[in-house]
Structure 1
Amino acid sequence: MDEEVIPILHVEDAAAAVAWYERLGFAKQWEHVFAPGLPAFVEVARGGVRLFLSEHQGDARPDTLVYLRVRDVESLASEFGVRVKDAPWAREIELRDPDGNRLRIGTPTEGHV
Structure 2
Amino acid sequence: MVEEAIPVLRVENAATAVAWYARLGFVQQWEHRFEPDFPAFVEVARGPVRLFLSEHRGDATPGTLVYLRVRDVDAVAAEFGVTAEEVPWAREIELRDPDGNRLRVGTPLE
Segments ≥4 residues shifted beyond 2 Å = none
- TM-score normalized with structure 2 length: 0.99
**How many Å separate the matches in 2 of 1:70 and 1:5?**
17
Q: Which residue does the alignment assign to 1:72?
A: 72
**How many Å separate the matches in 1 of 2:65 and 2:87?**
17
**How many Å separate the matches in 2 of 1:72 and 1:32?**
32
Q: Which residue does the alignment assign to 2:107?
A: 107
RMSD: 0.4
Identity %: 75
Partner secondary structure for residue 34 of structure 1: coil
Unmatched 5+ residue regions in structure 1? none
Unmatched 5+ residue regions in structure 2? none
- TM-score normalized with structure 1 length: 0.96
**How many Å separate the matches in 2 of 1:56 and 1:93?**
28
